[in-house]
Amino acid sequence: MRDMTDFIRSIRKIVLDAVNAQKLTTVVYGIVESVNPLKVRIDQRLILEAEHLVLTRAVKDYTTEIQISSGARQPCTIYNALKVNDKVTMIRQHGGQQYLIIDKEVA
């Protein structure tokens, strides 16, 4: 019975080590180098191009509706688009091929 318990512990450790080694997601920080085309630098040697970046609403301009005091709804544009030198927070998706820009630092 003890041999079986040790065997199960060993298997669990191997599985956990393998999962941890895959780095399913990682939080990454970068700086916007250009906006058209979009490029984000994450370290001195690596610049991510637009095809590797996915943007959330938090870093894009968009139009929505707001309700004013009279109760009427009115369109309103939110200006959140990225600008050169913005510091961004990203999540690197499994495999490192796509990065989701989730927000930017507000100065």
- Residue 97 is predicted with a pLDDT of 84
> What does the DSSP assignment read for 20-54?
HHH---EEEEEEEEEETTEEEESSSS-EEEGGGEE
Q: How far is 70 from 54, CA to CA, in rounded Å?
A: 38
Q: What is the pTM of this model?
A: 0.72
Element holding 106 (H helix, E strand): none
How confident is the model at residue 55, as a pLDDT? 95
- Going edge to edge, which strands form the sheet with 38-41? 47-49, 38-41, 26-35, 87-92, 99-104, 53-55
Per-residue pLDDT at 22: 67
**Which ranges of the chain have pLDDT less than 70?**
1, 19-23, 107
